[in-house]
Amino acid sequence: MSSVEHRLKELDIVLPPSQPPLANYVSCVRSGNLIFTSGAGCFVDGQPLYTGRLGRDLSVEQGYEAAQVTALHLLSVIKAEIGSLDRVERIVKMLGLVSSADDFYEQPQVINGASDLLVQIFGEKGKHARSALGTSVLPMNLPVEIELIAEVKADEE
């Protein structure tokens, strides 16, 4: 068992199956040793875990959970692309969008759900640069959308 898979098992985490894109794009693109994911949301069994805006329809705790679920989906996308999460050298950058009520200012606390999870799974390799932004709406009324950039080990020749 790989070290990342072992860590997932210790944390009692099961990665969801990688889902196909919802429109005319791909889930990720590899350029050299970097993987750029498309934006993803908090889907469980093909359905949104939550919908609505933070600060109006959802609590920070629900947003935090939505960010965690989204991060797991992105890890599934990366794993499908490279075969094993042990090939991740580091999580480089995260962009987190939070659908927010006009007076909601806790976007960083919501996106911490994804950041905290990545550090739990990857340790130091999971620490990343990050932006956490508020927006008025997201597709399908999702509360969170996240993109990742990950550095991966070079393909062996």
Domain ranges of the chain: 3-152
SS3 17: coil
pLDDT tens per residue across span 2-52: 799 899 999 999 999 887 887 899 999 999 999 999 999 999 998 999 999
Residue 39 CA to residue 145 CA, distance in Å, equals: 6
Q: How confident is the model at residue 155 (pLDDT cuts 50, 70, 90)?
A: confident
Question: Taking all residues of the chain, what is their mean pLDDT, rounded to a whole number?
Answer: 95
Helical axes 107-122 vs 60-82, angle rounded to 10°: 40
Confidence (pLDDT) at 156: 65
Percentage of residues in the chain with pLDDT exceeding 90?
90
Banded model confidence at residue 55, pLDDT cuts 50, 70, 90 = very high
Residues 6+ apart with CB under 8 A from 143: 42, 50, 51, 52, 53, 54, 57, 58, 62, 63, 66, 98, 99, 110
Measured CA angle at 38 (ends 37, 39), to 5 deg? 115
Burial degree of 32 (CB within 10 A; 0-12, 13-18, 19+)? exposed
pTM equals 0.95
- Name the β-bridge partners of 95: 131, 147
Per CATH, which fold does 3-152 belong to? 60s Ribosomal Protein L30; Chain: A; (3.30.1330)
Q: pLDDT, tens digit, for every residue of 98-120?
A: 999 999 999 999 999 999 999 99
The H or E element spanning position 69 is helix 60-82
Residue 91: pLDDT band (50, 70, 90) is very high
